[in-house]
Amino acid sequence: MAPTSYQAPMRGDKEEKTTYSQTTGSNLAQSKTAVSKLLEGKGDDVFSVRPNETIHSVVNILKEKRIGAVLVTDQNGALQGILSERDIVRRMADTPGQTLPQSVEDLMTKEVKTCTTDDLLNDVLKTMTEGRFRHMPVLRDGKLCGVITIGDVVHFRLKELEYEALRMKQMIVG
C-alpha cells in the first residue's frame, strides 16, 4: 500500500510547463538554406585551368592551393569540365609513368553537374551523394561564381544544427 502522502500524477499536472525536446519532425526537417548562404562564408574562389594544359600543371595547382579539383574553362570563363584528384589517380593506375604529360581535356569530366546560388543545400547534398562526386560548380545568371564541396555542405549544415540546438537550450533555460 502506498504511503498516504503519495498522490499519483494526474492528467494536466504539467500543463503550465512546456518542453522543447527534439521531435522526428524537427530532426528530419528540410533545411531551407540556399547555396548563396554557404558561399557568403566560404567565398567565391574558383580555380580553373584550360583544356590544353597538362596534368602535371594541374597536380601542382591542387597541391599549392590545397584543393581536390579544378574547373576547366575556356578563354571566356565558360565551364568546359571538371578534373579531380580521383580522376588523376585513376588515370595514373591505367597509364603508370605516362599520366603527367597528358592533357586536361583527355581526363576531365565533360558533363558537369552544377547548382545555382538559389538551390537548397539539402538538394545539392543529395545530388552529390547520389552522383558520388564531391565538388560542384555554382552558377549565378549562367556564370561561374564559386565551387562547393560535399564537406562544405556537411560542415555548414552541422553548424546550423548546433545553432538550432543552442537556441533551443536557451529557450529551455531562459
Per-residue pLDDT, 20: 46
Three-class secondary structure of residue 82 per DSSP: strand
- Evaluate whether 42 touches 152 at the Cβ level (below 8 Å): yes
Distance CA 32, CA 23 (A): 18
- State pLDDT tens for residues 18-70: 444 444 444 445 568 899 999 988 877 899 999 999 999 999 999 999 999 99
- Evaluate whether 58 touches 83 at the Cβ level (below 8 Å): yes
Is the four-CA dihedral 45, 49, 55, 56 of positive or negative sign? Answer: negative
Helices 121-131, 150-173: inter-axial angle, 10-degree rounding: 140
Helices 35-42, 121-131: inter-axial angle, 10-degree rounding: 90
- State pLDDT tens for residues 122-145: 899 999 999 999 999 999 998 999
Q: For the whole model, what pTM was predicted? A: 0.74
